[in-house]
Structure 1
Amino acid sequence: MNTTSSNLVCRQQDAGQGLRAMVWQKLQRFGAAVASATLLAGSLTGCSALTQPIDGIPASRVPQQFFAEPKNDLVPVDISLLTLEPPREYVIGPGDILGVYIEGVLPFNPPSAPPEPPPVNFPDAQSTLPPSIGYPIAVQEDGTLSLPLIEPLDVEGLTLDQIRDAIRDAYTDNDILRTDKARPIVTIIQERTVDVIVVREDGGGGNGLSRQSASSVFLRGGTDRSASGGLVKLKAYQNDILHALVETGGLPGLNAKNEVKILRASTRNREAREEFLAEFRKQRLAAMADPCACPPKLPEDPSILRIPLRLPPGDSPNLSPEDITLKEGDIVYIESRETEVFYTGGLLPGGEFPLPRDYDLDVLGAMAMVGNGVYGQSSQAQRSGGLGGLGGAIATIPPGRLFILRKTGCNGQIAIEVDLAKAINEPSSRPLIKAGDTLVLQYKPEEEILNFGLGTFFTYGIRELISN
């Protein structure tokens, strides 16, 4: 090799060494900048994983009593259990209005005058009765029927045929009518009714109009979820829970709980409720006197009948005919489920969201409901990135930790920690959401650092390399 060639090789080697030295110096300066920025960012308030830690318990270690009861397997109850079986023949009782025609007596006719034809009564459009014949006579509260020239007849519990026979026997036994002339006609003009009160906090169970009788007075609530209710007149043998619901809009809607409450109007039930509340007030006052005691919760009122509308397969509400029969003044109450909501915070869009009524909602479904996909990031997370937002929108690693803040007794709280990567792959690691839960989405500390490192590299590192 000649002298010129040797000098050229040496110059190329020197240039390569200089380039490597320059790149190494830039990388050292970039690494120092990254390290300094990382230390600085660790003290920033935007890093919630470091500055606002939540002491959570992994979901796999939480006791079973803190989990929500599943409801996916619940099935609707047989609604035929909520209605009474009508008798084969209508049995007369106080409040019924009968049509009675007795030739020569009702109305009275002189012996030489021809008999007057009986009046014909046509029912109203809401009635299912056929046209009736006779003069209207009401059955009294004591169950008697007052007719001309004879003592009042006790007709409570009798059928129309039995009442017809009793009238004929009464007039023939008192020598008022001959046997061949005693042919009374007895029909039903109007059935007796039972007045009950229906209060619904679901707006009446739908948007359609209810199938009400002409004598029912049922007022609907407005669009602000106010309660609707009023007086409903139920016909005899239709005075049951199902007919009360049908007359006021049907089964409870999605805004109502899946149960029906019955408050009896009898004096015995009212006294039982007062005794129950008085006992609870004593327990509450005793707990308030002890600063270390927890205030007791209001237990279930034993005087209120609660009928669930969804049960596990094979279970039955065990209702007797007395349970589903509504009497005068009873109250049917459909309670709102407005308080069955959960809340979100942290990197999730903050808000209040309703829980589904008839199916389960786990943590992944809740995140999707509030607008945050399993792998995607919320708008707040995209704006802030990791470590206080220094990474900006460059951060690509989604937050992987969710906390469920769940209320416990005595104003306590438990924080359930959910690893989202594990929850995606294992359905058993997805706790169900309960009413009152608060979901807080956070980055893990390593996710914060990685997001910041990526953002810093793409914003400072590339600029530094290009500028030098």
Structure 2
Amino acid sequence: MQSRGGDASRQDGGEMDTRIHVMSVGGKSLGITVALMALAAICVGCSSVARTAIPATCVQPNILDKPRGDRQPIDFSKLRQDPPPVYQLAARDILGIYVEGVLGKSDEAPPVYMPQRWSDQGESIPPALGFPVPVREDGTISLPLTRPILVAGLTVAQVEDEIRKAYTVDQRILQPGRDRIIVTLMRKRTYNVLVVREDTANQQRVGRQGGQRGMYEPERAGVTKAVELPAYENDVLHALAATGGLPGIDTKNQIKIMRGAFRTPEERDEFLRTLEDPATRAEVLATGRKIQRIPLRVGPYDPPLNLTQEDIILNSGDIVFIESRDEEVFYTGGLLAGGQYPLPRDFDLDVLGAIAMSGGSIAAAAGGGGPGSGIGGGRGGVGGIFPPTRVIVLRNVNGQQVAIKLNLKTAMLNPEERILVQPNDFIILEYTPFEMMMNILVNNTLLNLNLNELGRR
């Protein structure tokens, strides 16, 4: 009886082991089937865009934009006017004139004008002698006992000769050789201009929040300044120097000049209040009068820069506008960390640089990483044994999407595949079908080995 019971129990145990083995084999088969189905679905999704993508070496020139690095800065001395060797008078200059016995008593010393040591523009002002006499709008000065004297275009020494001639020859009020006439420049004429700059508060703000890169949003607060430029310094270069220097890299590569925007101090103050608001500022500049544009960087594809003195000289009522550049960004996705990144304004950025900027690594694709080096900074895929090497660049050309594909290993050796990134490009890093299959098989093998090790324990 005991022998029969033992045989029955051994028989039941053998049937249970067989069922467990069958279930194990069936589970492995089911797992392999599910993995292959997932692989097929993933490969179809990944290769649907890649099949229609254009190889980087076959991209037509109209799809690739003009390089940014070919543009060189202009000679900024061209933004400065050429002053004459000697100061020439014009309307709104103020002269200091002393004519003994006519404009000043003979028994009194001529008045001395001692201005501040430095003007608001940082210019050293020497002292002057005589009574203040302004140059009128018609270019003449008015003195006692003589007709108006035309002084526009003359130097101070020439004006002194003209006054001496008027009192000794024309009117014969003073005796030649015994006259005492002093002419000095008391105050130079100035030109009131407004300078609007949007390059003072801009900054690149990139920060991680929830695994995502921050957005790049240039600020357009800007600063508006009213400046008075002395004669022969009323040009674009001096206006920039008086308001903070040359434009920064967060502005457009051009300077806008609105000619004759205001004529009176009241209109200037009104423009000053209007330009403080970015919304009304854009409206004023869009509906303004004649606007002149001066590029700050030119390239071989741009027309030659021919600036004349009239182009860079500023007059009262002009507005100089330095505009913040439009938001130029590119996007990343796929096995790269999804994000939005700003494009450099003056330098070329290729695909490899864009991947590095987004936190990806190309060391493994270049053959220097080995297994497990993967794509540092990217999001997880099916594993990093075989790193991803296929890059898809989605670009909008004339309202249509164009897909461009390249291989990281080839791009490391062939510069023609390192296409330049353009605004609004979408860069996707993904596995090739072979890399996807090999990663799944290797990971599945490693998983089975780990499960067997756990089963033995």
Aligning the two structures, in what range does the TM-score lie when normalised by the shorter sequence? 0.7 to 0.9
CA shift at 1:379, angstroms?
Answer: 4.3
Matching of residue 88 in structure 1 with residue 76 in structure 2: no
Q: Kindly indicate whether residue 444 of structure 2 is the aligned counterpart of residue 456 of structure 1.
A: yes
The aligned residue for residue 273 of structure 1 is none
Q: In percent, how many aligned pairs have the same letter?
A: 41
Picking from 381, 406, 428, the partner of 1:440 is 428
In structure 2, relative to structure 1, the CA distance for the partners of 1:46 and 1:133 (3 Å cut) is: farther
Listed one character per residue, the Cα deviations across residues 330-352 of structure 1 (whole Å, up to 9, x for unaligned) are 22222212412222222222222
Match of 2:115 in 1: 122
* Distance change (3 Å), C-alpha of 1:259 and 1:187: same
Distance in 1, Cα, partners of 2:290 & 2:416 = 40
CA–CA separation in structure 2 for the residues paired with 1:101 and 1:149: 14
- Is 1:404 the counterpart of 2:399? The answer is no
Counterpart of 2:386 in structure 1: which amino acid? I
Q: Per the alignment, do residues 118 and 379 of structure 1 end up closer, same or farther by CA in structure 2, a change over 3 Å counting?
A: closer
1:166 to 158, 162, 166: 162
Q: Residue 266 and residue 158 in structure 1: after superposition, are their counterparts in 2 closer, same or farther (change >3 A)?
A: farther
Match of 1:3?
none
| Corresponding residue number in structure 2 for 1:377 | 375
Aligned to 1:11: none
Question: Is structure 2 residue 197 aligned with structure 1 residue 200?
Answer: yes
2:135 is the counterpart of 1:148:
no
Contact 2:201 2:219 in 1 (8 A): no
Partner residue, 2:410:
422
The Cα shift of 1:46 comes to: 11
Check 1:224–1:73 CA distance in 2 against 1; reply closer, same or farther (3 A cut). closer
How many residues align? The count is 382
- Counterpart for residue 347 of structure 2: 359
- Describe the SS at the equivalent of 1:243: helix
Partner of 2:18: none
Equivalent residue of 1:64, what SS? Answer: coil
User: SS in structure 2 opposite 1:418?
Assistant: strand
> In 2, distance between residues paired with 1:169 and 1:457?
110
Does the 8 Å CA contact 2:49/2:403 hold for their aligned counterparts? no
In structure 1, distance between residues paired with 2:190 and 2:202: 23
Give the TM-score normalised by structure 2.
0.75
Asked whether the 8 Å contact 2:43–2:433 carries over to 1, the reply is no
Question: What displacement does 1:96 show?
Answer: 0.8
Q: Secondary structure at the match of 1:381?
A: coil
CA contact (8 A) 2:375 2:384 kept: no
| Residue 256 (structure 1) aligned with residue 251 (structure 2) | yes
Equivalent-residue separation in structure 2 for 1:132 and 1:372 (angstroms): 69
Q: Map Cα deviations across residues 63-107 of structure 1 (whole Å, 9 max, x no partner).
A: 101112223343322211111111111000011111111112222
Structure 2 CA distance for aligned equivalents of residues 348 and 33 of structure 1: 32
Indicate yes or no: 2:296 matched with 1:305.
no
- 1:87, 1:104 → 2: CA distance? 34
Q: Distance in 1 between matches of 2:51 and 2:137?
A: 69
Give the gaps of 5 or more residues in structure 2. Answer: 1-21, 204-217, 263-287, 365-373
Task: Mark the CA change 1:464 to 1:36 in structure 2 (over 3 Å): closer, same or farther.
Answer: farther
Alpha-carbon separation, structure 1, partners of 2:182 and 2:202: 44
The one-letter code of the counterpart of 2:151 is V
Q: Is the contact between residue 263 and residue 332 of structure 1 (CA under 8 Å) also seen in structure 2?
A: yes
SS of corresponding position for 1:65:
coil
Q: 1:41 to 1:51 in 2, by over 3 A?
A: farther
Say whether the 8 Å CA contact 1:196–1:327 is kept in structure 2: yes
Taking the aligned partners of 2:378 and 2:27, their CA distance within structure 1 comes to 29
Tell me how far apart the structure 2 counterparts of residues 379 and 77 of structure 1 sit (CA, whole Å): 39
Query: TM (normalized to structure 1)?
Result: 0.73
Give the Cα–Cα distance (whole angstroms) in 2 for the partners of residues 37 and 448 of structure 1. 15
Q: Secondary structure at the match of 1:246?
A: helix
What secondary structure does 1:94 align onto?
A: coil
Which one-letter code corresponds to 1:422 in the other structure? Answer: T
Would the aligned equivalents of 1:204 and 1:249 in 2 still touch at CA under 8 Å? no
Check conservation: 1:205, 1:249, Cα contact below 8 A.
no
Counterpart in the other structure of 2:57: 60
Gap change, CA 1:46 and 1:150, over 3 Å in 2: farther
The 1:456/1:442 distance shift into structure 2, 3 A limit, reads same
Cα distance in 2 for partners of 1:460, 1:340 equals 48
Residues 199 and 419 of structure 1: CA distance in aligned 2, closer, same or farther (over 3 Å): same
Give, in angstroms, the shift of residue 40 of structure 1: 3.5
Change (3 A) 1:39 1:158: same
Q: Which moved more, 1:197-206 or 1:450-459?
A: 197-206
- Whichever residue aligns with residue 443 of structure 1, its letter is Y
The SS at the match of 2:62 is helix
Contact 1:349/1:370, CA 8 A, preserved across alignment: yes
Q: Summarize deviations over 1:44-73 as a string: whole Å, max 9, x none.
A: 679851688784221122210111222334
CA distance in 2, matches of 1:371, 1:165: 75
CA deviation vs aligned residue, 1:104-161 (integer Å, no higher than 9, x gap)? 2222x3xxx6233332323441333322111222111111112222222221111111
1:355 and 1:75 mapped to 2: Cα distance?
Answer: 18
CA RMSD of aligned residues (A): 3.3
